[in-house]
Structure 1
Amino acid sequence: MDRRKVLLLVAAVIAALGTLLVFLYARGADTRAEERFETRDVLRAVATIEPGESIEAAQQAGKLALQPVPNAMIVGPGLTSTSGLAGQLALTRIYPGEQIIEQKFGTSSEGASAQLPIPDDQIAISVNLSDPARVAGFVNPNSEVTIFVTGTNPVDSQTFSRMLLDRIAVLGVGSTTPITTTTTTEEGTTTEQLPRTLLTLAVTKAQAEKILYAQSVGELAFGLTTETSQLPPGQGANADNLFR
């Protein structure tokens, strides 16, 4: 076999291998995408469960329902029945949309008076965020978030977006309510309803002051973090450095 035929054969083998690798990668990507959006039915609250309310009373009142939740958002094992919570009381207020987890129920009436699992040196505050600002609903109790603020600097009137606080613990996710917003443009006035959800955070006094002030002068947004998230401090983004 002459050299030209050998080269053609090698090229054909390489092309076949390349096609096979592309096919395997595409199939793997499809599988990963399906796993990401695959859901499982778990117990969630559909009405507020008050502290001290028994799981039986909540179920009888129709406050629980099996609802589909993306696998990535399921807290713990994901309960599908109340059998493991028989005779137990809610230790904290559970809002509509929250998943039913064992840690929020107990048999002690003293424990039922507890409000939230707040660390000893911190306090709990709540903020109201839209779906995009809370990572499209992927923020759940026990999540850790970074808080960003976008607004206008009152000193020089320059708009900016900057990380405010990092690695803040989420204690609870409350009810979602529609908020009506009206936007006026040259084409006319547009009115739309956007869902906003109450999120409760564990923070220090100084952090609470920063969050409350930032919320009054700008818009807050959460970033969902992991143990390996890189969150170096910086000057944020503004008109001067946006494209640098």
Structure 2
Amino acid sequence: MARRSVLLLVAALIALAGTAMIVLYVQGIDARATKDQELVEVLVATETIDIGETVTEAQDAGKIEKSEVRRVDLVDGSLSSTSSIADDVAVGTIYPGEQLIAKKFGTLGDTQSLVIPEDTMAVSVELTDFERVAGFVNPGNEVAVFATVLDPIRILPDGKEQKLGSYTRIVLTRNLVLGVGTTSVTSRTVQDEEGATATEEVAKTILTIAVTQEEAEKLVQADRTGELNFALLTDDTKTADNEGAFLRDVYPELFRGVAP
């Protein structure tokens, strides 16, 4: 009888502990859900803020106001006050309804109206239409930059050369476009399926982006030794500095049974 009583007591304690854990778990979910729905104050644009327009000018024109949004809808880096950007200007067009974020503001550069964010420099590259996402990239947009080398060669310890095959990787994960320059037309030779060559005209446009010194070194190296492609990003786009892709990653069937 005593043993049975002990077992019943232990079972009751286990049941109580389990119930308590469930209650705590549910309360945790409720707390997180409540936190996500909590309203927080943020600055938003009520009218379009143009490139080069100062924060003071935008405020005086009534283009900036405080608004409340759910915490879950809060954009990373959003501002609740203009104190940190009071002396800055917009480095890209800010549209009505956009939350104000610090990286959309900077100081005026020394050259014409080019606005260069603090602690960065402006570097330009020349790209064809398809390499720059046709005409969709504009000042104020954010882009990722990919580089492709077609015939990289590795020098082995014995001095011999090893061909690696074409390779593509991301070079810059997220950078601000400062300007889209003039378009020039260049010629290039192409080859058709029969092997005949022809000359075609290709439009190229200069794009200028904001980079740190380290990013500038990577971008210039990639531009000199390979081919660049820009990818237009949104605020929700996720990018990562990964290992990139070789030809075998795209066409694995062609490399089955082939030693790496």
Q: TM-score, normalised by structure 1?
A: 0.52
Q: How many residues align?
A: 139
- Residue 111 to residue 230, structure 1, CA distance change in 2 (3 Å): closer
**Which residue is 1:63 aligned to?**
none
Whether the 8 Å contact between 2:187 and 2:202 is mirrored in structure 1 is: yes
Report the CA distance shift for 1:243/1:112 in structure 2 as closer, same or farther (over 3 A).
closer
Task: Give the aligned partner of residue 173 of structure 2.
Answer: 166
Which residue of structure 2 aligns with residue 234 of structure 1?
Answer: 242
Classify 1:159/1:112 alpha carbon distance in 2 versus 1 (closer, same or farther; 3 Å). closer
Partner of 1:217: 225
State the partner residue of 1:138: 136
Among the aligned pairs, what percent are the same residue? 39
* Residue of structure 1 in register with 2:202 after alignment: 194
* Structure 2 residue aligned with 1:87: none
Amino acid at match of 2:138: N
Map of 2:148 onto structure 1: 150
Matched residue, 1:179: 186
1:241, distance to aligned residue in structure 2 (A)? 1.7
Question: SS in structure 2 opposite 1:241?
Answer: helix
SS of the residue corresponding to residue 238 of structure 2 reads: coil
Give the RMSD, CA atoms, in angstroms.
2.5
One-letter amino acid of the structure 1 residue matched with residue 205 of structure 2? T
The equivalent residue for 2:216 is 208
**Secondary structure, in 3 states, of the residue corresponding to 1:240?**
helix
Q: In the superposition, relative to structure 1, how do residues 111 and 138 fare at CA in structure 2: closer, same or farther (>3 Å)? A: closer
Letter paired with 1:141: P
- Structure 2 gaps, min length 5: 1-47, 51-92, 94-107, 155-161, 253-260
How far apart, CA to CA, are the structure 1 residues paired with 2:138 and 2:109? 22
Structure 1 residue 231: deviation in Å?
Answer: 1.2
Measure how far apart 1:237 and its partner are.
1.4
CA radius of gyration, larger in? 2
CA 111–117 in structure 1, closer or farther in 2 if over 3 Å, else same: closer
The within-5 A match list for 1:1-244 is 76=48, 114-151=112-149, 152-155=151-154, 156-157=162-163, 158-184=165-191, 186-243=194-251
* SS at structure 1 position matched to 2:205: strand
Deviates more, 1:128-137 or 1:228-237: 228-237
Unaligned ranges ≥5, structure 1: 1-75, 79-98, 100-109
